[in-house]
Amino acid sequence: MSELKEKLKTQIIEQLNLEDLTIADIKNDSPLFGDEGLGLDSIDALEFIVLLDSYYGIKIDDPAIAKEIFHSVDSMADFIESKK
Amino acid sequence: MKIIGHCYINPRGAFFNGQNVLIATEENYLKNYFSELKIDYSKFYKMDLLSKGAFLGDYLLRNSYKDLLHVENELQFIFANTSSSKETDIRFIESYERKKNPSPSLFVYTLPNILTGELAIKHKWFGENIFYILTKFDSEFFNDQIVMSFLRGNEYCLCGWVEMTGSPEDECFMFLVAKSEVVNENFSNNLNEILNTYRNE
Amino acid sequence: MERSLKCYLKYGAIISPLGDRIEEHYSAFLENKSGIKKEGKIGFNSENFFLARIDNLANSRYNTLLNQACEKLIQNYSSSFLQNPKTGVIVSTTKANLAAITSDTFESTRRIIDEIIHPFHEPIIISNACISGVLAVNTAADYIRLNKFDQVIIIGIDVLSDFIIYGFQSLFALSNEACRPFDKERNGISLGEACGILVMMNTPDDDCIVEVLGGASSNDANHISGPSRTGEGLFRAIHKSLERSGILKEEIDFISAHGTATTYNDEMEAIAFNRLGLNHIPTNSFKGYFGHTLGAAGIIEIIMCMVSMEKNILFKSIGYTEIGTSERLNVISENQKVEVTTVLKTASGFGGGNAAVLLKCIQ
| B54 inside domain | yes
**Judgement on whether residues C23 and C160 belong to the same structural domain of the protein:** yes
- Cβ of C244 and B153 within 8 Å? yes
**What mean pLDDT comes out for the span C6-31?**
98
- Cβ of C171 and B92 within 8 Å? no
Amino acid B66: pLDDT = 86
* DSSP string of C306-348, one letter each residue: HHHHHHTEEPP-TT-SSB-SSS--EE--S-EE----EEEEEEE
- Cβ of C171 and A41 within 8 Å? no
**Judgement on whether residues C12 and C142 belong to the same structural domain of the protein:** yes
**Strand pairing report for C37-39 and C336-337:** unpaired
| B128 inside domain | yes
Q: How many helices (H) and strands (E) does chain C have?
A: 10, 16
Q: Which of C52-61, C132-141, C188-197, C202-211 has the lowest mean pLDDT?
A: C52-61
- Cβ of C171 and A42 within 8 Å? no
C224 to chain B, any CB pair closer than 8 A? The answer is yes
Helix axes A42-56, A73-82, angle to 10 degrees: 40
Residue A65: which pLDDT band, with cuts at 50, 70 and 90? confident
- Cβ of A38 and B45 within 8 Å? yes
C170 to chain A, any CB pair closer than 8 A? The answer is yes
| B103 inside domain | no
C97-124 confidence digits (pLDDT tens) = 999 999 999 999 999 999 999 999 999 9
CA distance linking residue C311 with residue B102, whole number of Å: 44
- Cβ of B105 and A44 within 8 Å? yes
Task: With beta carbons under 8 A apart, name residues in chain C contacting A42.
Answer: 226
A63 → chain C, closest CA residue: C172
Answer positive or negative: Cα dihedral of B98, B99, B101, B107: negative
Whether residue C3 is predicted with pLDDT greater than 60 in this model: the reply is: no
What is the number of structural domains in chain C?
A: 2
Domain that holds residue C312: 210-361
| C291 inside domain | yes
| C185 inside domain | no
Domain A2-82, CATH class in plain words: mainly alpha
CA distance linking residue C126 with residue B133, whole number of Å: 6
Task: With beta carbons under 8 A apart, name residues in chain A contacting C225.
Answer: 43
Mean pLDDT for chain C? 97
**What mean pLDDT comes out for the span C234-258?**
98
Task: With beta carbons under 8 A apart, name residues in chain A contacting B41.
Answer: 39
Interior angle at CA A61, CA A59 and CA A66, nearest 5: 85
Whether residue C4 is predicted with pLDDT greater than 70 in this model: the reply is: no
C229 to chain A, any CB pair closer than 8 A? The answer is no
Residue C2: which pLDDT band, with cuts at 50, 70 and 90? very low
List phi, psi (to 5°) of C14.
-150, 135
> Which of C5, C135, C166, C224 would you mutate first to test chain B, the one with the most B CBs within 10 A?
C224
Amino acid C101: pLDDT = 96
**Judgement on whether residues C196 and C241 belong to the same structural domain of the protein:** no
Q: What 3-state class would DSSP assign to B182?
A: coil
Domain that holds residue B33: 2-84+112-199
**Judgement on whether residues C147 and C226 belong to the same structural domain of the protein:** no
Amino acid B192: pLDDT = 97
Return the CATH number at B53: 3.40.47.10
B91 → chain A, closest CA residue: A17
What is the number of structural domains in chain B?
A: 1
Whether residue C164 is predicted with pLDDT greater than 60 in this model: the reply is: yes
Residue A83: which pLDDT band, with cuts at 50, 70 and 90? confident
| C3 inside domain | no
Task: With beta carbons under 8 A apart, name residues in chain C contacting B121.
Answer: 221-224, 352
Residue A44: which pLDDT band, with cuts at 50, 70 and 90? confident
Whether residue A63 is predicted with pLDDT greater than 80 in this model: the reply is: no
Task: With beta carbons under 8 A apart, name residues in chain B contacting A39.
Answer: 41-46
**Judgement on whether residues C96 and C145 belong to the same structural domain of the protein:** yes
> Which of A19, A43, A47, A56 would you mutate first to test chain B, the one with the most B CBs within 10 A?
A43
**Judgement on whether residues C219 and C159 belong to the same structural domain of the protein:** no
Chain C nearest-CA distance from A61, in A, is 12
B110 → chain C, closest CA residue: C95
- Cβ of A20 and B31 within 8 Å? yes
Amino acid B183: pLDDT = 79
List phi, psi (to 5°) of C344.
-105, 125
A8-29 confidence digits (pLDDT tens) = 999 999 888 888 888 998 999 9
Whether residue C1 is predicted with pLDDT greater than 70 in this model: the reply is: no
Chain C nearest-CA distance from A9, in A, is 22
| C183 inside domain | no
Segments of chain B with pLDDT less than 70: none
- Count other C-beta atoms under 10 Å from residue A38's C-beta: 24
Return the CATH number at C248: 3.40.47.10
**Judgement on whether residues C336 and C249 belong to the same structural domain of the protein:** yes
